[in-house]
Amino acid sequence: MKTGDRVAIECEGRTVDGTVLLASEKGRSLMVKFEAILAGHVGMMPLLADDAGDFRSIINGALVRISLR
């Protein structure tokens, strides 16, 4: 993933459209924005990939799946 990518964000059984606002060089940390409330995050969520490659919220550890649109 890279900054500006349009993505699908899946969290707690919901999938919403979003955009990658910021991405680290290797894509292991992301800030995504969206028009929704997901796992208590309103409109934006900071994510970090764990050792298995799964993204989790930095704030509350919620599992998030990200795919390119």
- pLDDT of 10 reads 98
* pLDDT interval class at 8 (50, 70, 90): very high
- pLDDT of 4 reads 97
Distance of alpha carbon 37 from alpha carbon 29, whole angstroms: 20
The reported pTM is 0.93
Distance of alpha carbon 62 from alpha carbon 69, whole angstroms: 21
* Span 9-59, pLDDT tens digits: 999 999 999 999 999 999 999 999 999 999 999 999 999 999 998 999 999
- pLDDT of 49 reads 96
